[in-house]
Amino acid sequence: MNIKKYLADRKGYILVYFLSSFFIILIMQLDLILKKERVNLSHILYSLLLSTFFCILFLLYDYSQKKAFYKELNTILKQDHSIQCLFHFSDHTNHEHQIFQEILFKNYNAYESILDEYREKHKQHLYFINRWVHQMKTPLSIINLSLQNDSYGTMKEMKKTYENIREETEKMAHGLEMALYTARINDFELDFKVEVLDIVQLVRKIINENKKIFIKHRIYPKVNTSEDIKVNTDYKWIVFVIHQIISNAIKYSIIDNKTGKKIIFRIIEQKKGAELVISDEGVGIPKQDLSRIFDPFFTGVNGRSTSESTGMGMYLSKVICDKLGHDLEVQSTRGKGTTVRIFFFKGKSLYNLSE
């Protein structure tokens, strides 16, 4: 910053200084006039010149103190990649400049934190996409192979081919849904609508939507509740969460090839809210994996036994429940099954702006 720009920034200080000097001199002269004493113009001029001298002296001293700091700022402005220059200020700056430097450091650290967060999200997104694309190749290959092998088969073989294709397309649909919700989760606040829902009817509807897979694997859903229970939640997001829990319950109930198992749904109304409890009779989750089931891309021992696991289902379910203000807990015993609890708190939701 040159001296002209410096003086332009301090024109208010200069104006106040001269105005205060003028009024002091004016009051002194008025006092002399009231006392009927002679006013000496040379004294007035001398006082103005003296105040001007001290003003210029102060401005020169102040500019000399700040010149080095301004020079460093100008150097940073002229550089294309100047962010690292924030850490190379001179140590001889005054207290005001030190505060300014600390503010820059804090802003830089905040910027780095936000950037690291987006880098991590981008890394997770790329990892998920690569993993998802790899998983989608498997059902496509099976469909293609089924069509090639049974193009001219018997009616029974064609029916089997049709069943295989339908099963693989369901896997692809589930994978597409997972990718869609993964993409939407970052803009959750723009894509939700909290409303009052009958959780009992909702659970029955979801069970009915999955009846084919229940019948195919001979798994029997059972709903234990005696009354309609209302909760505040978002229909689309909570349906995804319950679908994911049911999908996992079925997947890990058939992993040991035993049939006749049950998935029990209990809806319990309490003082603080309502609780949805989903219990299966599957293989259960190993103790060492239980604390990590909500981590992104974590599949664990059970997940590695099947190619369909992405490690994103329970992670997304946890994120969604947290954003909706619901509690999500998982309890499991190896070889006995898994119990998932969703607790819907009563009262006004943070997202329910219509209430």
Dihedral (Cα; 308, 310, 313, 318), 10-degree rounding: 150
* Same domain, residue pair 207 and 341: yes
254 within 8 A of 219, measured Cβ to Cβ: yes
Give the residue from 59, 75, 93 where a domain finishes: 93
Residue with tokens 């604390």: 291
* pLDDT at residue 138 greater than cutoff 90: no
Are 329 and 204 found together in one domain? yes
Contact yes or no for 312/296 (Cβ under 8 A): yes
**Domain end marker among 64, 93, 122:** 93
| Nearest of 147, 143, 172 to residue 157 by alpha carbon | 147
Q: Going by DSSP bridges, is the β-strand pair 220-224/262-269 parallel, antiparallel, or unpaired?
A: parallel
- The verdict on residue 147 lying in a domain is no
Q: List the domain range (segments joined by +) for residue 286.
A: 192-355
3-state secondary structure of 273: strand
> Are 213 and 71 part of one and the same domain?
no
Q: Give 231-266 pLDDT, tens digit per residue.
A: 999 999 999 999 999 988 988 888 777 778 899 999
- Indicate if 199 and 86 belong to the same structural domain: no
Residue 255 placed within a domain: yes
**pLDDT value of position 327:** 93
- 266 in any annotated domain: yes
Question: Is residue 288 one of the residues assigned to a domain?
Answer: yes
Is 99 part of a structural domain of the chain?
A: no
**Dihedral (CA of 183, 185, 340, 218) sign:** negative
SS3 93: coil
pLDDT at residue 278 greater than cutoff 80: yes
Domain count, the chain: 2
Same domain membership, residue 201 and residue 86? no
What percentage of the chain carries pLDDT values higher than 70?
A: 85
The pTM assigned to this predicted structure is 0.64
Asked, for residue 41, whether it belongs to a domain, the answer is yes
Q: Output the pLDDT for position 280.
A: 92
Q: How confident is the model at residue 55 (pLDDT cuts 50, 70, 90)?
A: confident
Whether residue 20 is contained in a domain is answered as yes
Q: Is 70 in the same domain as 214?
A: no
Are 263 and 280 contacting, i.e. CB atoms less than 8 angstroms apart? yes
CATH code, 243: 3.30.565.10
Residue 123 lies in a domain: no
Statement to judge: residues 315 and 198 lie in one domain: yes
- Both 234 and 89 in a single domain? no
Give the end of a domain, one of 93, 120, 153: 93
